[in-house]
Amino acid sequence: MTSNYEIIREGNIREYGEGTRHLSFLGRLYTDRTHFIFELLQNAEDARATRIRFELSGDKLEVRHDGRLFDERDVRGICGIDERTKADDLTQIGKFGIGFKSVYAFTRNPEVHSGDEHFRIENFVRPYHAAPKEPGDPWTTLFVFPFDIPELEPAVCHDEIAARLRILSARTLLFLRNLVEIEYVVDDSSGGTYLREVIDRGPARQVTVIGQNFGHEEYETWLAFGRPVAVPDYDDFVSVEIAFRIEQSQGEQAERIIKVDDSPLVVYFPTEKPTRFGFLVQGPYQTTPSRDNVPKSSSWNTTLVEETAVLITNVLGHLKEMGFLTVGSLLALPIRVEDFPKDGMFLPIATAVRAALRNQELLPADDGTYVSARHARLARGADLRRLLSSDLLTSLLKAQENLKWLSGEITHDRAQTRDLHGYLLNHIGVNEIDPEAFAKNLSEDFLAGRDDDWFARFYEFLLEQESLWRKPKYVGQTRGVLRSRPIIRLDDDTLVVPFDSTERPTAYL
Residue 30 sits at the vertex; the CA angle it makes with 25 and 33, to the nearest 5 degrees, is: 100
Residue 248 sits at the vertex; the CA angle it makes with 245 and 249, to the nearest 5 degrees, is: 115
Q: How many CA atoms lie within 13 A of 509 on its CB side?
A: 11
> How far apart, in whole angstroms, are the C-alpha atoms of residue 329 and residue 369?
15
> How far apart, in whole angstroms, are the C-alpha atoms of residue 166 and residue 158?
12
* Side chain identity at residue 171, one-letter code: R
pLDDT in tens, the chain (509 residues): 899 999 999 999 998 888 766 666 666 666 788 989 998 999 999 999 999 999 999 999 999 999 999 999 999 999 987 645 444 454 444 443 566 888 999 999 999 999 999 999 998 899 999 999 999 999 999 999 999 999 899 999 999 999 999 988 899 999 999 999 999 999 988 889 999 999 999 999 999 999 988 778 899 999 999 999 999 888 889 999 999 999 987 666 789 999 999 999 999 988 889 999 999 999 999 987 666 678 888 999 999 999 999 999 999 999 999 999 999 999 999 999 999 999 999 999 999 999 999 999 999 999 999 999 999 999 998 999 999 999 999 999 999 999 999 999 999 989 999 999 999 999 999 999 998 889 888 888 888 888 889 988 888 888 887 776 654 444 443 333 323 444 454 444 555 454 444 444 443 33
Measured torsion, CA atoms of residues 489, 494, 496, 501, in degrees rounded to the nearest 10: -50
Task: Give the pLDDT score at 431.
Answer: 95
Return phi, psi of residue 158, to 5°: -60, -50
Task: Give the pLDDT score at 472.
Answer: 44
Residues belonging to the chain: 509
Task: Give the pLDDT score at 234.
Answer: 81
Task: Give the pLDDT score at 447.
Answer: 87
Helices (H) and strands (E) in the chain, counts: 14, 24
What single string gives the DSSP state of each residue in 74-142? HHHHHHSSS---HHHHHH-S-TTSGGGGGGGGT-SS-EEEETTEEEEEETTTEEEE-------TT-SEE
Alpha-carbon Rg for the chain, nearest whole angstrom, is 32
Total Cβ atoms within 10 A of residue 493: 11
Burial class (CB in 10 A: 0-12, 13-18, 19+), 282: buried
Indicate left, alpha or beta for 347 from its phi (over 0: left) and psi (-120 to 50: alpha). Answer: alpha
Do the Cβ atoms of 296 and 227 come closer than 8 Å? no
Roughly what angle, to the nearest 10 degrees, separates helices 72-79 and 5-16?
Answer: 30
Residue 423's alpha-carbon distances to 162, 265, 354, in angstroms, are 44, 24, 9
> How far apart, in whole angstroms, are the C-alpha atoms of residue 269 and residue 319?
25
Task: Give the pLDDT score at 445.
Answer: 87
Task: Give the pLDDT score at 91.
Answer: 42
What single string gives the DSSP state of each residue in 436-457? HHHHHH--HHHHHT--HHHHHH
**β-bridge partners, 114:** 117, 141
pTM, two decimal places: 0.86
Residue 287's alpha-carbon distances to 248, 296, 300, in angstroms, are 36, 10, 11
Strands (E), 231-372: 237-248, 255-258, 264-267, 269-274, 280-282, 363-364, 370-371
The rounded Cα 167 to chain-centroid distance in angstroms is 20
The rounded Cα 130 to chain-centroid distance in angstroms is 45
Read off the DSSP letter of residue 469: B
Long-range CB contacts (within 8 A, 24+) of 370-373: 370/320, 370/325, 371/403, 371/404, 371/406, 373/424, 373/428, 373/429, 373/430
Residue 491's alpha-carbon distances to 46, 437, 444, in angstroms, are 71, 11, 11
Task: Give the pLDDT score at 475.
Answer: 40
> How far apart, in whole angstroms, are the C-alpha atoms of residue 165 and residue 109?
22
> How far apart, in whole angstroms, are the C-alpha atoms of residue 183 and residue 211?
10
Task: Give the pLDDT score at 254.
Answer: 83
Residue 7 sits at the vertex; the CA angle it makes with 121 and 15, to the nearest 5 degrees, is: 75
Task: Give the pLDDT score at 482.
Answer: 29
